[in-house]
Amino acid sequence: MVMNRLLLLFYCIISCVVPGLAQERMPSLTALQQALNKEFSDTADVRILIAAGDAYVMRRGTIDGDIDSAKLCAEKVLETALKTGRRVWEGQSYLLYAKLWREKDDRVKGKEYVLKAEAIFEKDKAKEYLADAYIELAEYYSKWDDTSLKARIRYYRDAAGIYEAQKLKFKQAETLKRLGDYYIVLPDYNEAKNMLLRSLALFKEVKYKELQGVYDLLGAACNQLGDLDNALKYALLSVKTAEELKDSTAQLSTSYNRLGLIYYNLDDKPKAVKCQSKALKVSIKLKDTSSIQILTGNLAHAYLKLKRPEEALKLMKWVERNYPAKELHLKAWMAECMLASYCVLGQYDLARPYAQSVEKARLGLPPHDPFDEQLFGPLGLYYLGIHQSREAHHFGSLLLNAAKKNGQQQLQASAYALLYKADSSKGKYQEALEHFRMFKVMNDSVFSDAKMRQISRLQVQYETEQKDQALKLKEQNIALLTREAQLQKAELRSTRFTRNVIIAGACMLVALLLLGYNRYQLKLRSNRQLKQQQDEINRKNLSLEELILSQNKLLDEKEWLLKEIHHRVKNNLQIVMSLLNTQAAFLGDKDALNVIRESRYRMQAISLIHQKLYQSENMALIDMRAYIRELVLYLKDGFLDVNKIKFELDIAPVKLDVSQSVPIGLILNEAITNAIKYAFTGSGTIIISLQSSDAGYLTLVIADNGNGFRDDEVPAQQGSMGMMLMNTLAEQLDGTLSICSNRGVTITVRFKYEEEEGRADPLVCEERTRVYV
């Protein structure tokens, strides 16, 4: 049997206790970070600042940023101390410096600072802080050899005494807990148990609930003392407390592992495997490589005890491949587990390299390293397997001496078993019989006492349950006797009632069956009708889809025909205009030429509309902004010396149908042509505007800054064809035409705006641009 002493050493490393804080409860890290931005002048502020530094240094997974923050805290405390002359604060800053330098692995600087702090606290009789300094000083002594470990324990005992004198119960409890841990590693299991029981009592006194760590260490101490009953009790309490508090730290893994080791020693192999598997899952989740390596070895040993060496070997190869060990103790532990697996399989040739690795690791261990004792058993079994009885006897003797020194009865039994096998192999049967007898004595001492205590406790529990059940039975009997007569009287009534209920139930069942059958038939009929209706609907939908497709096709053809018509109209107008141009070439009469030219302009105004219609996707609406601009450009190109005249367009982004676009185009043609011909003797400006005047109306304005009308001219009564045409077109628009002469002529047409889908509303349109042509 292999005892996992390495886990006890590892627990010291991963322990999350921070006994050196200036307060008995550490503030939250967020609050401490906020405190860094404040000015520090009084004791409370400095205590918070020191606590902040401690939090950064002791936080799990400390990084360079944390160390820098802790250093900033220490610098501020020291600066405040020197300004105020507070020596205690100076000592506290040195203590914080010591912690951060130790965390950076500069132990020389760290120890220099902690000794400075100790001197200040001793001189100023600052007892609590002196105890904190002792705790920090202890960290500079190794856990791996007896001498250094005893020095570390001495500092912790001194600190615990000061905390007790100062009535700092929480700090005292934490320190006693660490002392118990160190005494387990030393080992001195009785002293460890005493320290841990005192720690547990103090934690309960201050109503501290996170007791899983103390219970766990108590279980370990009792396990090593062979007190398996109490070991199991405390280990179960540790797991129960951790699960109730929803602990997800490395402590949960440690608790499961310790419980598994106790089940291992109690020879309850299935429970040992179950607990070790839980512990390994937690460590894998935490990505704790060292714990994974240790716990995999423990689980492998449990498989070996279950006579499942193949699974143990597979597990060890997995951890060797994915989590290779780097530290000496862990390398030795991994090699020891592989050695044990191959020995159980009887594959001693494959075990040889691992035996050599274990022997090599032993040479590198410090003197009196407790872990060395764990390697005696596997090496002895290996040498026994390869028939080197002398070496096997040597390691058996070493194991026996270590077990006797530590008071470990179960380990003594394992040593005696190894010795009697080695003696038998050498032919020393007398010594073998004596060692076998001692093996039986020690084994019976461990297991008989433990099992008797468990059986006794179970017997008491069983008898108590039996008494409770007997009392309950008596009460039930009395109740039954008092009700027996009533039950007998009620039995006949109950029988009759039952018969009536059965008959009524049968009738109701028949009625329900008939009703159900009727509903079923109705449903079938209804489904048939619905199916017929659905088929009819589907047929109509199909016909409707065909009709829609046909109509869409007709609409497409209609649109194409309309575009073709507009195109042909435009072409015909162009032909007429060409004929007029040809005719004009043969005319000498100036008036006739003017008439032909004006007719040509009017036709171009109409032609542009038809051109816009067949070029646009919308066959009904004309974009007035583009249309008016093109019309103006055409008229401008048709006159000589027109470059002296500027055109200013202010057209709303509105679309009108053909019935309104044609009259507007002709009105614009007449007004612009007259302005170009008669309004100017030199340069000038013609302003054309089409904007909304009020809801539902548009106003067209053609204004120039030319000569205007003479006083004896009445524009509205002029009998020219152009004026008559504009009046007629305004009436066609259901609008009004007005002409005024004031520093030029202004023609205004106001007409109703017929809103249709696809038109822009000039009242709400934000886009308004003025164009110069």
pLDDT (tens digit per residue) in 622-662: 888 888 888 888 778 777 666 788 889 999 888 888 788 88
Residue 16 pLDDT greater than 50, yes or no: no
17-26, 81-90, 172-181, 315-324: the lowest-pLDDT one: 17-26
Residue 261 half-sphere exposure toward CB, CA atoms < 13 A: 32
Q: How far apart are CA 120 and CA 725, in angstroms?
A: 115
Query: How many degrees, rounded to 5, is the angle at CA 264 between CA 262 and CA 265?
Result: 65
d(CA 586, CA 626): 35
In sequence order, the β-bridge partners of residue 752 are 697
Among candidate residues 220, 232, 234, the one with its CA nearest the CA of residue 187: 220
Q: Is the pLDDT of residue 619 over 60?
A: yes
Is 239 within a domain?
no
Please list the residues that pair with 751 across neighbouring strands: 698
Asked if residue 226 is part of any domain, the answer here is: no
Residue type, 529: Q
Nearest to 56, CA basis, from 83, 87, 42, 35? 35
Q: Does the structure show a pLDDT above 50 at 459?
A: no
Give Cβ neighbours of residue 355 (< 8 Å, ≥ 6 apart).
Answer: 339, 379, 382
Rounded-to-10 torsion of CA 183, 186, 187, 192: 0
Q: Which helix (H) or strand (E) covers residue 340, if one does?
A: helix 328-345
Between CA 41 and CA 30 the distance in angstroms is: 21
Strand pairing of 697-704 and 736-741? unpaired
Number of domains making up the chain: 1
Give the closest residue to 407 by CA, choosing from 144, 233, 187, 193: 187
pLDDT score, position 172: 94
Distance between CA atoms of residues 769 and 237, nearest Å: 86
**Residue of 350 and 475 predicted with greater confidence:** 350
Statement: residue 741 has pLDDT above 50: yes
Q: What percent of the chain has pLDDT over 90?
A: 14
Report the C-alpha gap between 643 and 196 in whole angstroms. 110
Position 25 scores a pLDDT of 41
- The pLDDT tens digits of the residues spanning 414-425 come to 777 667 676 677
Are the C-beta atoms of residues 691 and 762 closer than 8 Å to each other? yes
Residue 729 three-state SS:
helix
Contacts of 225 (CB under 8 A, 6+ apart): 189, 190, 193, 231, 407, 408
Q: Is residue 755 part of a domain?
A: yes
- 422 vs 429: CA distance, rounded Å: 10
Question: Pairing state of beta strands 697-704 and 745-752?
Answer: antiparallel
Give the chain's radius of gyration (CA, Å): 54
Q: Does residue 369 surpass a pLDDT of 70?
A: no
- Binned at pLDDT 50, 70 and 90, residue 617 comes out as low
Buried b / exposed e over 219-234, threshold 16 CB at 10 Å, is bbbbbbbbbbbbbbbb
**What per-residue confidence (pLDDT) applies to 765?**
43
pLDDT of 630 reads 83
Is 5 a residue whose pLDDT tops 50? no
Confidence category of residue 6, pLDDT binned at 50, 70, 90: very low
Q: What is the pLDDT of residues 543-598, one digit of tens each?
A: 888 888 878 777 666 666 666 665 656 666 667 766 676 776 677 676 776 667 66
Sorted by sequence, the CB contacts under 8 Å of residue 145 that are 6+ apart come out as 366, 367, 368, 369
735: domain CATH number? 3.30.565.10
Which two structure tokens, joined as six digits, stand for 326? 């780097």
**In the predicted model, is pLDDT for residue 441 greater than 60?**
yes
Q: What region, left, alpha or beta, does residue 687 occupy, with left being phi > 0 and alpha being psi -120 to 50 degrees? A: beta
pLDDT digits 0-9 by tens, 670-703: 888 888 888 888 788 999 999 987 777 899 999 9
Q: Which residue has the higher pLDDT, 112 or 571?
A: 112
The count of C-alpha atoms lying within 13 angstroms of the C-alpha of 385, restricted to the half-sphere facing its C-beta, is: 21
More confident residue, 607 or 346: 346
C-alpha span between 458 and 468 (Å, rounded): 15
Please name the amino acid found at residue 88. V
What the block records as the tokens of 126 is 């600052």
Q: Residue 171 class from Cβ within 10 Å (0-12 exposed, 13-18 middle, 19+ buried)?
A: buried
b (16+ CB within 10 A) / e for 565-581? ebeebbeebeeebeebe
The answer to whether residue 428 sits within a structural domain is no
Q: Report the candidate in 541, 662, 644, 565 with the shortest Cα–Cα distance to residue 606.
A: 662
Residue 716: DSSP 8-state: G
Sheet holding 745-752, edge to edge: 736-741, 745-752, 697-704, 684-694, 645-651, 770-772
Q: 375-379, 460-464, 634-638: lowest mean pLDDT where?
A: 460-464
**Stretch among 75-89, 525-539, 629-643 having the lowest mean pLDDT:** 629-643
Residue 662 lies in a domain: yes
Give the chain's mean pLDDT: 77
Phi/psi class of residue 427: alpha, beta or left (left: φ > 0; alpha: ψ in -120 to 50)?
A: left
Going by pLDDT thresholds of 50, 70 and 90, the confidence category of residue 23 is very low
Domain residue limits at 655: 623-772
Whether the pLDDT of residue 175 is over 90: the answer is yes
| Structural domain contains residue 703 | yes
Length of the chain: 773
Residue 595 in domain: no
- What's the half-sphere exposure (Cβ side, CA atoms, 13 Å) at 350? 11
Q: Does 301 score more than 70 pLDDT?
A: yes
- The answer to whether residue 700 is domain-embedded is yes
**How far is residue 336's CA from residue 17's CA, in Å, rounded to a whole number?**
31
More confident residue, 413 or 289: 289
- Alpha-carbon distance of 300 to 364, in angstroms, equals 25
pTM, two decimal places: 0.51
